């Protein structure tokens, strides 16, 4: 999966998670000194600085820049995600590969006990192909109208942004999340984008979520800050707490994001809450 040639699999390797802030998993061949990096994606999309097709990849803060300056010897960079986003290609002397979680499922034999435990555990983190691999006779047609209504509501509330597909995911924190990334058009929300100090193509997210420790779904709006700017995020949280009267404003438990959220049963009109809260967040998140 990581791109190690079959002829090299009997070599000794160093296996290092979270290496140098640019490798979810770094695999280093003792004999050749070649390094293989794997970036894991469960629910989130590949960010601009993680994507070799993006100009941000080789700029400071990008993974390509880190490979050249902090993590030498990277010959293969693989993104492991829920779906295929691009075809394999070579660039700057490095092979870039896209693989899906589904490829971990054995197709020519039964899963061993340890494989089954691993794939079941990964499925519980929100990897759909693994969670549903043994489920048969699923019937979801009756829920299709609800999905369409959610899409239409969020699309109408966020129509100022670029048209975006409905994003559905789950991870170790959320039983499920259903929403859309907020992708500004050219020259839109430029002051806020400068404040967030990132160029990922989106400034945040809007939608519904169900935390694993909650009994009810929540309505939610997120803003995404550059990874090292927790102080700015906290400033925005303080600013929004002064003006958000219906909902809570908290830091994300996982990423450098702020989250405005409210329990669904506390809202009488979901469209009105999303519209009013989104307007407030966009206007007031950047301290004056």
Q: Judge if 67 and 129 occupy the same domain.
A: no
Q: Do 179 and 274 belong together in one domain?
A: yes
Could you tell me if residue 131 is inside a domain? yes
Residue 166: give its domain's CATH number: 3.30.1460
Residue that is written with structure tokens 């950047």 in the block: 286
Euclidean distance between the first and final Cα of the chain, in Å? 49
- For residues 60 and 71, membership in a common domain is answered with yes
Residue 85's pLDDT is 81
d(CA 83, CA 85): 6
The answer to whether residues 25 and 11 touch, using CB atoms and an 8 Å cutoff, is no
pLDDT at 163: 85
Q: Taking 70 as the threshold, does the pLDDT of residue 121 lie above it? A: yes
Would you state the pLDDT for residue 129? 83
Q: Rounded to 5 degrees, what angle do the CA atoms 89, 59, 187 make?
A: 100
Residues 28-75: tens digit of each pLDDT: 999 999 999 999 988 677 888 899 999 889 998 899 999 999 999 999
What is the model's pLDDT at position 138? 66
One domain, residues 168 and 240: yes
Same domain, 156 and 247: yes
Query: What's the structural domain count of the chain?
Result: 3
What is this structure's pTM? 0.63
Domain of residue 178, residue span: 141-284
Instruction: Mark whether 162 and 119 lie in a shared domain.
Output: no
Average pLDDT over residues 104-118: 92
State pLDDT tens for residues 222-243: 999 988 889 999 999 999 999 9
Within a domain: 109: no
Strands 218-224, 248-251: pairing kind: unpaired
pLDDT tens digits, 145-167: 888 888 889 998 998 898 888 88
Tell me the three-class secondary structure of 15-36, residue by residue.
EEEEECCCEEEEEEECCCCCEE
Domain membership flag for residue 1: no
Q: Are residues 134 and 146 in the same domain?
A: no
Q: Do 194 and 242 fall within a single domain? A: yes
């Amino acid at each position: 999966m990581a791109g190690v040639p079959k002829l090299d699999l009997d070599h000794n390797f160093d296996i290092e998670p979270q290496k140098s802030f640019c490798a979810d998993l770094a695999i280093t061949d003792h004999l050749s000194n070649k390094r293989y990096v794997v970036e894991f994606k469960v629910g989130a999309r590949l960010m601009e600085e993680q994507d070799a097709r993006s100009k941000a990849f080789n700029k400071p803060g990008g993974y390509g820049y880190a490979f050249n300056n902090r993590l030498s010897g990277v010959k293969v960079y693989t993104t492991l995600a829920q779906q295929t986003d691009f075809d394999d290609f070579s660039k700057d002397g490095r092979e870039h590969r896209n693989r899906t979680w589904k490829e971990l499922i054995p197709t020519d034999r039964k899963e061993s006990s340890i494989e089954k435990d691993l794939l079941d555990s990964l499925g519980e983190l929100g990897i759909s192909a693994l969670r549903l691999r043994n489920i048969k006779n699923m019937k979801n047609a009756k829920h299709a109208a609800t999905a369409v209504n959610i899409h239409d509501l969020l699309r109408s509330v966020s129509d100022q942004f670029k048209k975006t597909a409905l994003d559905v995911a789950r991870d170790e924190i959320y039983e499920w999340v259903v929403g859309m990334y907020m992708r500004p058009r050219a020259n839109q929300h430029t002051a806020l984008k400068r404040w967030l100090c990132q160029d990922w193509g989106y400034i945040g997210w809007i939608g519904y979520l169900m935390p694993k420790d909650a009994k009810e779904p929540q309505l939610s709006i997120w803003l995404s800050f550059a990874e090292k700017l927790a102080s700015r995020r906290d400033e925005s949280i303080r600013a929004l707490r002064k003006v958000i009267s219906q909902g809570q404003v908290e830091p994300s438990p996982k990423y450098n994001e702020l989250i405005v959220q409210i329990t669904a049963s506390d809202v009488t009109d979901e469209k009105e809450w999303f519209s009013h809260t989104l307007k407030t967040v966009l206007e007031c998140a950047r301290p004056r």
